[in-house]
Amino acid sequence: MSKQYLTLHTVDQAHPTEIFALAPTPTTLISASGSSHILIHSTTTSPTFPLVQTLSNAHRLGCHHVTTARGLGSLGNTFVSVGFGGETKVWRRNNNPSSSETSESDKWSLYWTLPTPANKKEKGDVWAVALSADEGYLAATTSDGRIHVWDLEGKQKVQTYETGASAGGGGGGQQDGSNGVGSGSFAMAVDLSRDGKFTASGHENGGVYVFNNDAGRMVYSLSGLAKPIRAIAFSPGCKRLAAAGNAGIIAIYDMQHGEHVANLSATGSRPAWITSIDWNDTGEYLLSGSLDGKVRVWDVARGVCVATHSETESALWCVRWLPKSEKALAPGMGKGEMFAAAGANRSLTFYREATGS
């Protein structure tokens, strides 16, 4: 059985350059591109998704990753952005519960910029980032294959996971930073499970690694994809891990035993690279975006694609489900699921479920 999603609205030319990153909060969508500005659009006040704030000159050379905490009941008070200049910035919302969403007392401002490593052995640039569900911890990958975990309140690094030769073959982590050489493959994707137990990373060599945060060590080195991994995501219940990239398929892994249990793939002899994936809040569906401009919705249990949209032939760099709103954006719309997509055409496109309340 297929599902129907309708194009709700497109913000044409939202950015002057390609849009590389999207991150939702309970009330907004944050977007970043090759330009220096980060834009914040309201997702709860109007079906035109108005721009409510511009963070000017956030990253001088542009921004390639933005992350927020995910899940039902997420606070929506923190997001993290990574620029092409190598800087990683933490932003906080000046939250005033008695104020309106767009008031000056409810704007985003810079909270902290992560320090540049002093140790020459730790010079790998930060690439992908993931925020914990409680907004307290940040996982950040590097170009030399490591994953650093930062305590945002304490403003300090509390864990480093190695995936290269210095990991000793079995993988591992070091408390309070690492002096390892970081000789692993480029870590292109990262995620933190919503229960806080696991960190997962995807790498240029096709490697997928899962670390136990309590034990501070690698628990799974997962096989199944031999090409670069560009997106990785834990299911809301933390029982499954999805990974995708240049192979053009989505691999599903079971987290209880570390087993490769399924592949999701589109028809065609040469599937396009998958650049972005995202679970919906029930864990029933996966959203994917790819270089051929197609957005797909996958029924994970059945292993099939139930909806496909191709608004553009340009590459899509990011797709994200939007949290369900407490009220309909317009009369007759209902309160069904919505998602957003963005990429090389510089526009933000919003979709809504055709039925549902």
pLDDT of residue 239: 95
Whose tokens are 């099939």? That residue is: 304
Confidence of residue 96 (pLDDT cuts 50, 70, 90): low
pLDDT of residue 309: 92
pLDDT: which is higher, 327 or 255:
255
State both tokens at 34. Answer: 């090759």
pLDDT: which is higher, 18 or 164:
18
Q: Give pLDDT tens digits for 183-231.
A: 689 999 999 999 999 999 999 999 999 999 999 999 999 987 889 999 9
pLDDT of 11 higher than 60: yes
* Max CA pair span of the chain: 60
pLDDT of residue 81: 98
pLDDT of 74 higher than 60: yes
**DSSP 8-class letter at 272:** P
Query: CA 279, CA 242: separation in Å to the nearest integer?
Result: 9
pLDDT of 339 higher than 90: yes
**DSSP 8-class letter at 117:** P
Task: Answer yes or no: is 130 within a domain.
Answer: yes
pLDDT of 170 higher than 60: no
pLDDT of 95 higher than 70: no
For residue 163, what is the domain's CATH number? 2.130.10.10
Task: Count structural domains, the chain.
Answer: 1
Average pLDDT, integer, range 55-66: 97
- Is residue 184 within 8 Å of 144, Cβ to Cβ? yes
Q: How many CA atoms lie within 13 A of 45 on its CB side?
A: 13
Average pLDDT, integer, range 105-116: 90
Task: Answer yes or no: is 251 within a domain.
Answer: yes
Confidence of residue 305 (pLDDT cuts 50, 70, 90): very high
Task: Answer yes or no: is 340 within a domain.
Answer: no
**pTM beyond cutoff 0.75:** yes
Query: CA 145, CA 40: separation in Å to the nearest integer?
Result: 31
Q: Which residues contact 49 (CB under 8 A, 6 or more apart)?
A: 9, 11, 29, 41, 42, 43, 348, 350
pLDDT of residue 206: 94
Task: Answer yes or no: is 229 within a domain.
Answer: yes
Task: Answer yes or no: is 226 within a domain.
Answer: yes
pLDDT of residue 108: 96
What 3-state class would DSSP assign to 166? Answer: helix
Chain mean position to CA 130: 7
Expressed as residue numbers, the domain containing 43 is: 16-288
AA letter at 167: A
Task: Answer yes or no: is 53 within a domain.
Answer: yes
CA-closest candidate to residue 351, choices 325, 327, 326, 319: 319
Task: Answer yes or no: is 352 within a domain.
Answer: no
Average pLDDT, integer, range 258-272: 88
**What's the mean per-residue pLDDT of the chain?**
88
Share of the chain above pLDDT 70, in %: 85
AA letter at 91: W
In this structure, is the dihedral angle defined by the CA atoms of residues 174, 178, 179 and 184, taken in order, positive or negative? positive
CA distances from 337 to 109, 234, 281, 285 (A): 29, 19, 10, 11
State both tokens at 158. Answer: 């509390």
Task: Answer yes or no: is 334 within a domain.
Answer: no
Q: Give pLDDT tens digits for 79-92.
A: 999 999 999 999 99
